[in-house]
Amino acid sequence: MSPPETLAFGCRLNSAEADTMARLAAAGGLSHALIVNTCAVTAEAESQARQAIRRAAREAPGRPIIVTGCAATLAPASWAALPGVTRVLGNPEKLQPQSWGAPETPTPPAATRSRARAFLEVQQGCDHHCTFCVIRLARGPSRTWALDDVLGATRQAVARGQQEVILTGVDLASWQDGAAGLAALVRACLGVPGLARLRLSSLDPAAVGADMLALWRDEPRLAPFLHLSAQHGDGLILKRMRRRHGPDTVPELAEAARAARPDMAFGADLIAGFPTEEEGHHAASLALIEALRPALLHVFPYSARPGTAAARLPALAPPVVAARAAALRAAGQRHAHAAAAARIGCIEQAIFDSSTEATTAQGLRLRLTSGEVPRGALRALRVVGADGAVLLAEEAQNGVA
């Protein structure tokens, strides 16, 4: 009996959920099936999932294909009509054991077991009303896993040999358990014996306060990587997006984070070509990239999402959107290459995602120049070069060159 296969599109949360669904499906006796966890952030993400489903149906006729996720939740009939699709599950049902015929046991927080590093879901849904985003409609209001449940899942990940845990959520910064907020959660997770590294996924810039900066200053096992859902650099566009931060928030936060943790690396999400965006607005996003100097930049060409307020605004011409996205990506790539080049000669503590490729504390990708290392191992590596944004490294002896 072959276990279910999964395809996850979009965020790390989708990857964690896909792993949980595969376990539930196997426990329910479902084999030789494909589970597709869709994303609704952009039209391109939906298109990629549709193409993957059609390809899977051609390559394995008769294989059951189960579709779930945000896009499937918002338009189930259109996904059910695709070739090979035997079932569509909405977000509210996909992690329930009964949906898969699995035993009715409490479902722990979704965490990837099949990866060298564990993506751990601690929060779901969103209470904000960004004008471009449809995820609130697909996932509902914000809700969080209890602190004890998260700590239990973290201990399980460490027991499995996963030396890094990545806390994920739709709006991770909104995690709350009674009076405890995200900083308290991070502090508690770092208290789990044997956890080598804790990493945070994307954060709302408006929600990163002094308590979190103090943790980065004082806790070396908290990965020095801050990924911000910046979305834009211009104040007027941020207002039209209904974001909670202003144009100065991200540069000021970056300065404070570097002061707290000099080795801090940054990632960011930016939207190019938002409706009503003019050249001056676009220039502000380019200036934001220069201030942030991101090691990782995700650029999303604006994609109108049905049911959102921004979809009613006058759209820019597609070639303009594409050109502005390309300009943002080029600026981001320049800084990613510079971030890699700056690490040449350094000793990096990296966790291996495969036998030859690893991830550093700063979130940079690293490749061995020779030899192999067991998957999941944490090793000291000396960086000897860079291939674009990828570090080239060799094993260090006793953590020194």
Q: Mind listing the pLDDT tens digit for each residue in 319-362?
A: 999 999 999 999 999 999 999 999 999 999 999 999 999 999 99
**Distant-in-sequence, close-in-space partners of 331: CB < 8 Å, separation ≥ 6:** 286, 289, 290, 297
**Three-state secondary structure call for residue 112:** coil
Q: Mind listing the pLDDT tens digit for each residue in 212-265?
A: 999 999 999 999 999 999 999 999 999 999 999 999 999 999 999 999 999 999
pLDDT at residue 401 greater than cutoff 70: no
Q: Mind listing the pLDDT tens digit for each residue in 234-248?
A: 999 999 999 999 999
Tell me which residue of 278, 11, 226 sits closest to 133, measured CA to CA: 11
**Distant-in-sequence, close-in-space partners of 33: CB < 8 Å, separation ≥ 6:** 4, 5, 25, 63, 64, 65, 66
Selected from 3.30.230.10, 3.40.50.20, 3.80.30.20, 3.40.640.10, the CATH number assigned to the domain covering 118-341 reads 3.80.30.20
175/182 Cα distance (integer angstroms): 6
Q: What is the CATH number of domain 5-100?
A: 3.40.50.12160
The residue length of the chain stands at 401
Q: How confident is the model at residue 109 (pLDDT cuts 50, 70, 90)?
A: confident
For 134-149, b where at least 16 C-beta lie within 10 A, e where not — what string? bbbbbbbebebbebee
pLDDT the model gives residue 115: 83
pLDDT the model gives residue 31: 81
pLDDT the model gives residue 175: 96
Give the CA diameter of the chain.
60
**Three-state secondary structure call for residue 26:** helix
CATH 3.50.50.60, domain 347-395, yes or no: no
Query: What number is the average pLDDT over the span 164-186?
Result: 96
Query: What number is the average pLDDT over the span 61-88?
Result: 94
The DSSP code sequence of 202-220 is -B-GGG--HHHHHHHHH-T
pLDDT at residue 183 greater than cutoff 80: yes
Tell me which residue of 306, 314, 316 sits closest to 43, measured CA to CA: 306
Quick check: 20 and 50 in contact, CB under 8 A?
no
Q: What is the percentage of the chain residues whose pLDDT exceeds 90?
A: 84
pLDDT the model gives residue 227: 98
Q: Mind listing the pLDDT tens digit for each residue in 378-400?
A: 999 999 999 999 999 998 775 44
Q: Mind listing the pLDDT tens digit for each residue in 266-325?
A: 999 999 999 999 999 999 999 999 999 999 999 999 999 999 999 999 999 999 999 999
pLDDT the model gives residue 322: 97
Q: Of residues 106 and 308, which shows the higher confidence score? A: 308
49/230 Cα distance (integer angstroms): 26
pLDDT at residue 59 greater than cutoff 60: yes
Query: What number is the average pLDDT over the span 111-115?
Result: 76
User: What single-letter amino acid sits at 360?
Assistant: T
Domain with CATH 3.40.50.12160 in the chain: 5-100
The DSSP code sequence of 223-282 is -SEEEEEEE-S-HHHHHHHT-SS-TTHHHHHHHHHHHH-TT-EEEEEEEES-TT--HHHH
**Distant-in-sequence, close-in-space partners of 303: CB < 8 Å, separation ≥ 6:** 41, 42, 43, 44
Domain with CATH 2.40.50.140 in the chain: 347-395
pLDDT the model gives residue 400: 43
Query: What number is the average pLDDT over the span 2-21?
Result: 86
Q: Please give the backbone phi and psi of residue 258, each rounded to the nearest 5 degrees, phi first.
A: -65, -35
Rama region for 194: left / alpha / beta (φ>0; ψ in -120 to 50; rest): left
Cα 279 to Cα 226, 234, 284, 400: the distances in Å are 28, 11, 9, 49
Q: What angle do CA 201, 143, 45 make, to 5 degrees?
A: 50
pLDDT at residue 194 greater than cutoff 90: yes
Query: What number is the average pLDDT over the span 370-383?
Result: 95
Mean pLDDT taken over the chain: 94
> For the ranges 104-118, 152-166, 168-182, 221-235, which has the lowest average pLDDT?
104-118
pLDDT the model gives residue 111: 72
19/354 Cα distance (integer angstroms): 18
Domain with CATH 3.80.30.20 in the chain: 118-341
